[in-house]
Amino acid sequence: MTPSHHYDALILGAGQAGVPLARALASAGRRTALVERVHVGGTCINEGCTPTKTMVASARVAYLARRAADYGVRTGPVTVDLPGVRERKRAIVESFRAGSQRRLEATEHLDLLFGDARFIGPRSVAVTSDNGERRLAADLVFINTGGRSARPRLEGLARVPALDSTSVMELGELPEHLLVIGGGYIGLEFAQMFRRFGSGVTVIQRNAQLLPLEDEDVAAEVRSILEQDGVDVVTGADSRCVEPAGDGVRLLIRTPGGDRVLEGSHLLLAAGRVPNTDTLDCGAAGIETDAKGFIKANDRLETSAAGVYALGDVKGGPQFTHVSYDDFRIVRDNVLNGGNATTRDRLVPYTVFLDPQLGRVGLSEREARMRGLEVKVAKLPMNSVARALEMDEARGFIKAVVDAGSRRILGAAVLGIEGGELMSVFQVAMMGNVTCDTLREAVFAHPLLAESLNNLFATLDA
């Protein structure tokens, strides 16, 4: 073990907050160490956004190819080369990862170190690698270690080769029938993806609806779209036990209608995520965690330990790349610029990359009514949107929640073609306190999706 090496700043985890923070601190002249266990880029680049959305794009091409006749285009039989999809995904991930690592290594005053870190005292860690163990200490410590797929307590799970959201993207052949435990964002994206690749797919969801945080009508429409694509959906189902069945698996589930047995060739676990804190020994540094292991942090991202901050998924809350990056901006402004930035009232948009996409921002109708707000709800089916009809992509709807008095937009859900992009129009309007009446009368270029806002808000007073 080497003697402790002291830095101005120590960052644990090269994720979407850790990487830009390391470069910002080092560029400001602060001697900085960035410790990464596996690879630069965090979940987003390596196991999350980049690889999954790359594969979603491949699945959409297969979907459109099979629908070519709907557009008057004749093609032959459509097959999916999953190893080819995988190699395309790997190449894009490697390009993003390598570019980020090169920029880090070229940054003056920054040391990029690989190894497993654990706290050995206040603002002090031991980093273990193939080269042994070294001790690091710093004036400030920033934790950006992220999370990973949760492994549910399911009888028999140790006896079957279950997949998670990382390993499922490394398959070299299509599952004959994929059983997906979990009806959240991750599970549904993979369910539709593999169905479009050609697999049979069944989604098992414990909650009474898919996407339990969404409004009931949104979740119901998502289910309808998936079922139209050939995905079997079972809700209100508690997975009881699993066992090998030939070359596949047999899953026993309990539903309101009684016990059922489902058989599949592969099992995907997509029922939540857990933080990467179990090997950090946060207690040694006086860093408090909650019952699930997430690090407790205030709205300035400060932990219970002086000089220690938590950023990104490791602190719980909305687990999105853009949240992690905004955490970086908050810390940068406060630590380097003497600011007073916080997470209070942060407007967090997100997109579920189904096809069509579900873009969401602000309050849902259910949340607004639970708060006792007086609201009006505008709703427009996508089959009333000219652009969607022209593209033959008219599934879903647009929904906006408006304050009845001020007429300002409180939230929106766009389940439709390029739903995330259209949701961003709502987000910008909300940021600028633009009223629904202004959008109703705005001149949008025809025939863009955005012009649907004219008709959407015309429904409020009809």
Query: Looking at the annotation, which residues are catalytic?
Result: 446
Q: Which residue reads 């009232």 in tokens? A: 345
Q: Residue 386: exposed, middle, or buried by beta-carbon count in 10 A (0-12, 13-18, 19+)?
A: middle
> Cα(327)–Cα(332) distance, rounded to whole angstroms?
9
* CA distances in angstroms from 77 to 66, 69, 74, 92, listed in the order given: 8, 12, 10, 28
* CA distances in angstroms from 379 to 72, 428, 459, listed in the order given: 32, 19, 7
Contact between 61 and 81 (Cβ < 8 Å):
no
> Cα(436)–Cα(400) distance, rounded to whole angstroms?
9
Classified as helix, coil or strand, 94 is helix
Q: If DSSP states are collapsed to H, E and C, what string results for 139-157?
A: EEEEECCCEEECCCCCECH
Strands (E), 13-154: 32-36, 110-114, 116-121, 124-129, 132-143, 147-149
> Cα(257)–Cα(31) distance, rounded to whole angstroms?
62
The DSSP call for residue 172 is: S
List, in sequence order, the alpha helices (H) in 180-291: 185-197, 216-228
* CA distances in angstroms from 304 to 111, 144, 276, 309, listed in the order given: 27, 16, 18, 9
